[in-house]
Amino acid sequence: MKTLRTYRAFTLIELLVVISIISILAGIALPVFSSVQVKGAQTKALSNAKQIGLACKLYATDNNGLFPSKTLSSGKPTTTDVADSNSAFAQLFPDYLQSEQIFYQAKSAFTPAPPDDKIDNPSVDSPVDTLKAGENHWAYVVNLSDTSNAALPLIADGFSDPSGHTYTTDETARGGVWKGKNAIVIRADISGSVMKAKVNGTTSTVSGNPNGGDLFDNSGITNWLGSANKVVNPK
């Protein structure tokens, strides 16, 4: 005689317990996953910024040790500083760089879409296609050279306020790509790192000036960067 098997179903309480456990595990895993994504993005961005720094170094070997900082006239540097970092970085094309892609940073308000890789050919004094507005994420400190103090900052994430050297905690705004918590900095010797920013309300600054305070201070008060070494932001 066959016996009938009985199947025990989950009770409502057991189902709720399982759902609660899954929710807790998801709550633990999601922040970790998000953090890993950010770290991965920062590692890639740091690599890109170092490539730009190396191109600046190569440029300097052919230009009396000077990094690109001046506007051009008939292809020669003038005595006038560039007004934005795009104009300085454009001078690296085509001899030292061939692609605009390393100037792009996902989620940066400075680069809403990837660059089109259209380069002025031949090069022109005032760039038209090379690094147009919206194709560069990186800020730049002008008037440094390959003999400058190795610890001085050369390239960094674009700022929300370049004159105040501040970032913003608003991820959707310019200068907020890392939510004001970090900044990628390449120094004059082309070493680089992801640095922690000090948040004060909705803005943040990067410390690291060995004489005290702001890493990008060019006021002359701390004898760090000189007054000629101002930060220029992307277009």
**Mean pLDDT within 184-207:** 97
Record the pTM. 0.86
Residues 13-63 have pLDDT tens digits of: 777 777 878 778 767 766 655 677 889 999 999 999 999 999 999 999 999
| Distance from C-alpha of 113 to C-alpha of 54, rounded to nearest angstrom | 24
| Distance from C-alpha of 25 to C-alpha of 147, rounded to nearest angstrom | 53
Decide: residue 13, CB within 10 A, 0-12 exposed, 13-18 middle, 19+ buried: exposed
Residue whose tokens read 């190396």: 54
Residues 80-133 have pLDDT tens digits of: 999 999 999 999 999 999 999 999 999 999 999 999 999 999 999 999 999 999
**Mean pLDDT within 179-198:** 97
Q: Please state which of the ranges 11-15, 25-29, 75-79, 225-229 shows the lowest mean pLDDT.
A: 25-29
Ordered by start, the domain boundaries in the chain are: 14-232
Phi, psi angle pair for 187, to nearest 5°: -95, 175
Position 106 scores a pLDDT of: 95
pLDDT at 172 over 80: yes
* CA within 13 Å, CB half, 161: 13
User: What whole-number percentage of the chain has pLDDT above 90?
Assistant: 80
| Distance from C-alpha of 139 to C-alpha of 154, rounded to nearest angstrom | 8
How confident is residue 180, by pLDDT bands cut at 50, 70 and 90?
Answer: very high
- Spatial neighbors of 232 by CB under 8 A, at least 6 apart, are 81, 82, 83, 84, 85, 88, 139, 140, 141, 142, 162
